[in-house]
């Protein structure tokens, strides 16, 4: 079984994906900007390396020999950080580096973690355009994420890299348990339908969906939402 390289392995989604991949027997290369900040990441089957998801040479240097790459990097840690240092091209540069790096090393699968704010709401508009749902002060981050998605759509259509972006459809919770179940919501938030309403998706179940899409790809060169399973 070939390994998986996880960019952003020190974050919530990255840690969950790393744990899920190890549980299934994959070796994991955990990529972070500064390994010394994550002494707890190293474990049996996990190799922690320094890397920059926005740098072509850095990305290419760590992806070789893996069956797939996961992009779970975020330059935004929370509202307290502010946006003074936000690079609006961050996700565009990451898409460029990953597509080029994976293609160059013959790694055919990329699974990226998306942002619910650029999904469509019930009215058909992006969630980030509705100030009643999404705080306007967070809009710069949402726009940067949306730009990265558009770059994947525009420049990721070749057969070299089969990418998919899995976006939590709302209700993502760190402490919720792993159920091993989830649903697809396509382009809309809370894709389970109006009769089911929003459902909690744990980071652990998001990770299940991510690793499922590594093992048995079912979505190709699209962005889809992942929602908590409703009912039995």
Domains and their CATH numbers in the chain: 3-227 (3.40.50.720)
* Confidence band, pLDDT 50/70/90 cuts, at residue 155: confident
- Averaged pLDDT for residues 69-83: 77
Half-sphere exposure at residue 102, Cβ-oriented, CA atoms within 13 angstroms: 30
At 199 the pLDDT is: 65
CA distance 103 to 167: 23
- Averaged pLDDT for residues 113-131: 89
User: Is the predicted pLDDT of residue 110 greater than 70, yes or no?
Assistant: yes
Strand (E) or helix (H) holding 142: helix 139-155
CA distance 64 to 178: 30
- Averaged pLDDT for residues 88-115: 96
- Averaged pLDDT for residues 147-171: 89
At 196 the pLDDT is: 44
User: Is the predicted pLDDT of residue 160 greater than 50, yes or no?
Assistant: yes
The H-assigned helical ranges of 34-83 are 56-63
* Confidence band, pLDDT 50/70/90 cuts, at residue 77: low
Specify the pTM: 0.93
| Ordered DSSP codes for 77-99 | --GGG-STT--TTHHHHHHHHHH
* Mean pLDDT over each residue of the chain, to the nearest integer: 89
User: Is the predicted pLDDT of residue 112 greater than 90, yes or no?
Assistant: yes
CA-closest candidate to residue 41, choices 52, 53, 29, 51: 29
Please, what's the largest Cα pairwise distance for the chain? 48
Structure tokens at 82: 């502010």
At 192 the pLDDT is: 41
* Confidence band, pLDDT 50/70/90 cuts, at residue 16: very high
Rg (CA), the chain: 17
Residues 130 and 190: beta-carbon distance below 8 Å: no
More confident residue, 230 or 55: 55
User: Is the predicted pLDDT of residue 63 greater than 60, yes or no?
Assistant: yes
- Report the share of the chain in percent with pLDDT over 90: 69
At 159 the pLDDT is: 80
At 193 the pLDDT is: 43
């Amino acid at each position: 079984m070939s390994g998986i390289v996880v960019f952003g392995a020190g974050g919530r989604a990255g840690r969950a994906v790393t744990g899920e991949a190890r549980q299934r027997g994959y070796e994991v290369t955990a990529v972070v900007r500064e390994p010394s900040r994550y002494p707890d990441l190293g474990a049996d089957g996990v190799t922690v390396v320094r890397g920059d998801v926005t740098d072509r040479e850095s990305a290419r240097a760590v992806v070789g020999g893996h069956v797939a790459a996961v992009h779970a990097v975020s330059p935004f840690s929370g509202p307290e950080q502010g946006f003074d240092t936000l690079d609006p091209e961050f996700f565009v540069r990451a898409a460029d580096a990953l597509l080029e790096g994976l293609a160059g090393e013959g790694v055919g699968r990329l699974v990226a973690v998306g942002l619910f704010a650029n999904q469509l709401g019930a009215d058909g508009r992006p969630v980030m355009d509705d100030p009643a749902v999404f705080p306007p002060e967070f809009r710069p981050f949402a726009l940067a994420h949306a730009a990265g998605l558009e770059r994947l759509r525009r420049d990721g259509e070749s057969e070299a890299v089969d990418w998919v972006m899995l976006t939590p459809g709302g209700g993502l919770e760190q402490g919720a348990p792993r159920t091993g179940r989830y649903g697809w919501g396509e382009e809309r938030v809370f894709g389970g339908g109006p009769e089911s309403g929003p459902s909690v998706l744990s980071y652990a179940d998001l990770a299940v969906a991510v690793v499922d899409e590594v093992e048995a790809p079912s979505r190709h060169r699209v962005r889809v939402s992942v929602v908590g399973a409703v009912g039995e």
